[in-house]
Structure 1
């Protein structure tokens, strides 16, 4: 009986050895079937791990936002005799990606699920933010419509103040600056905002300031993978 491995990916252009433990690298090299969000990206990642890997001898299963439950259920039989690895587009699978559906099915069919250590932009941003790590929420993407987005921001800010909760969310990279401007123009001047992008790469940028101070700064985050963190408590 096979196991379902949750395999970490890189967060950007960095060395594999810098963020992926050796034992995890060895496990990845031993797997022959991968459920992946982006096959091209995964092939490139595997070659970065070990140039001698024979890519054409591997099996790749599409696991992305377009995969329906019937597609995913068809992957379960592979686990009968083989280990299968899930690889996200970036970071750890199962968080803000479709890997959770296959994980849930593996549990339902009594296959062992094995999470492996690797970089998570969400957790790395949180621990570097200085915000409350005892009570936090990851809220995914905010609404695209601006009025709804601002309403959501204010709701999250109110909840943060009432419950001492850190609020974490992401945005499509090309809308980062729009979201940043909405935060700065709509929320309390003393609410803390953390902007964290390109984590673990040489271009990493992580900064926490009160919104009143962000009004004088325009971070270079356009089209860069970014985590936004709100914490409605002054320094």
Structure 2
């Protein structure tokens, strides 16, 4: 069989106080854990977090290769900041990272949390794998965007992930108005994320900018004991401050809005 590129989701608790508290098999099914335990070659967003992930896997499924003997390479830093979804120079770098696969080794692709190549870098590696004739196999595990969408009550038949909005107050307000108008016109749910320490500012901007009749959902700490999800019309968010107070905004969050 040709070498395979496995897309391995990782737990959503990295970067939180629960990182080492939850057994990894609460997040990942048996097949995903078994593949993770046998792989010795990895392409990752962050090598340190991948080693921490593998230590958690080892507690459930003993690793076939000691971590110190594994081949773990990081995606270029440019991919973290700008993404690698646009074909170009990133594809050449990704092809070089797949050298072990061309030598017959199966390779795992991981991000710091959730599914690689979705709201995270990694798509260039997937394109390079297809170009090289490698089998690409996504494995089962948590994807925060889909969990949040399912719990939002918003349109799950038509939606768009728009990533981050500008940090400048004026530019952010203009972008949110554009997205809101599009959502109202088409019915398409808009999905955003933000760095946790800026979650409060984004929520303020959403409440100040969106139409009062727009539905806004915020999902914080998905899958964690502190998980909170609130979904209501913007006018109800404003008149019911307890909704905001119930949110764990210091944790990773997904913001969604639409009709």
- Does residue 1:110 correspond to 2:111, yes or no? no
Kept in 1: contact 2:47–2:72 (CA 8 A): yes
Instruction: Give a deviation string over 1:19-58, Cα, whole Å, max 9, x none.
Output: 2010110011111001011111111111111144311111
- Does residue 1:82 correspond to 2:109, yes or no? no
Which residue of the partner structure matches residue 165 of structure 1?
Answer: 188
Cα displacement (A) at 1:214? 1.3
Instruction: Give a deviation string over 1:174-224, Cα, whole Å, max 9, x none.
Output: 111111001111111111100001101101111101111212323444432
Which residue of the partner structure matches residue 66 of structure 1?
Answer: 78
Cα displacement (A) at 1:3? 0.4
Which of 32, 35, 40 is residue 40 of structure 2 equivalent to?
32
SS class of match (1:117) = coil
Aligned partners of 1:66 and 1:150: how far apart in 2? 27
Which residue of the partner structure matches residue 10 of structure 1?
Answer: 11
Give ranges in structure 2 of 5+ residues lacking alignment. 80-88
Aligned partners of 2:23 and 2:212: how far apart in 1? 39
Give ranges in structure 1 of 5+ residues lacking alignment. none
Which residue of the partner structure matches residue 82 of structure 2?
Answer: none
Kept in 1: contact 2:213–2:233 (CA 8 A): yes
Aligned partners of 2:98 and 2:51: how far apart in 1? 22
TM-score (structure 1 length as normaliser): 0.94
Aligned partners of 1:114 and 1:72: how far apart in 2? 17
| 1:200-215 to 2 correspondences below 5 Å | 200-215=223-238
Kept in 2: contact 1:36–1:64 (CA 8 A): no
Which residue of the partner structure matches residue 224 of structure 1?
Answer: 251
Kept in 2: contact 1:125–1:196 (CA 8 A): yes
Cα displacement (A) at 1:15? 2.6
Cα displacement (A) at 1:64? 4.7
Kept in 2: contact 1:38–1:64 (CA 8 A): no
**RMSD of aligned Cα (Å):** 1.4
Which residue of the partner structure matches residue 215 of structure 2?
Answer: 192
SS class of match (2:184) = helix
| 1:132-171 to 2 correspondences below 5 Å | 132-171=155-194
